[in-house]
Amino acid sequence: MKEKNIAIISLILGVLNCLMLVVNRQWYMVVCYIVLGLGPILYAIKYFSNSIIENFRSLAWVDFMFGVSILSLAMSTFYGSGKFVFLQYIIGALLVVISIIALVKVVKEHRLSLIP
């Protein structure tokens, strides 16, 4: 999978996470949806504006951290009580999976260190 495709998937998943707020219409879910959706969106835009491998590595790490955060909030009884909780699980899991694919690609193909 190319770096550009991974960045596009990351962007789409971030937008989907932000759109979950419209579906649930609960003001306290802003943290779970908007804030955790903005990270992948902003770093994907950063990668598209300057397509260097270091930006791709940072996008992969942000995807991993935000994906794990989305999964942990989806498992909680407070944030995970809204409609379409299964979408939170899917979005979080996909962010973690594509981040692992991206980090393996960075280390194996581009010979960059795993940690910046």
Q: Which residues contact 92 (CB under 8 A, 6 or more apart)?
A: 67, 68, 69, 70, 71, 74
Over range 7-29, report the average pLDDT.
87
pLDDT band at 79; cut points 50, 70, 90: confident
What is the pLDDT, as a whole number, of residue 46? Answer: 94
pLDDT band at 29; cut points 50, 70, 90: confident
pLDDT band at 44; cut points 50, 70, 90: very high
What residues does each domain of the chain span?
Answer: 3-109
What is the pLDDT, as a whole number, of residue 3? Answer: 92
Over range 88-103, report the average pLDDT.
95
pLDDT band at 15; cut points 50, 70, 90: very high
Helix (H, G, I), strand (E, B) or coil at 23: helix
- The residue among 78, 93, 109 whose CA lies nearest residue 2 is 109
Over range 24-28, report the average pLDDT.
76
Helix (H, G, I), strand (E, B) or coil at 109: helix
What is the pLDDT, as a whole number, of residue 65? Answer: 96
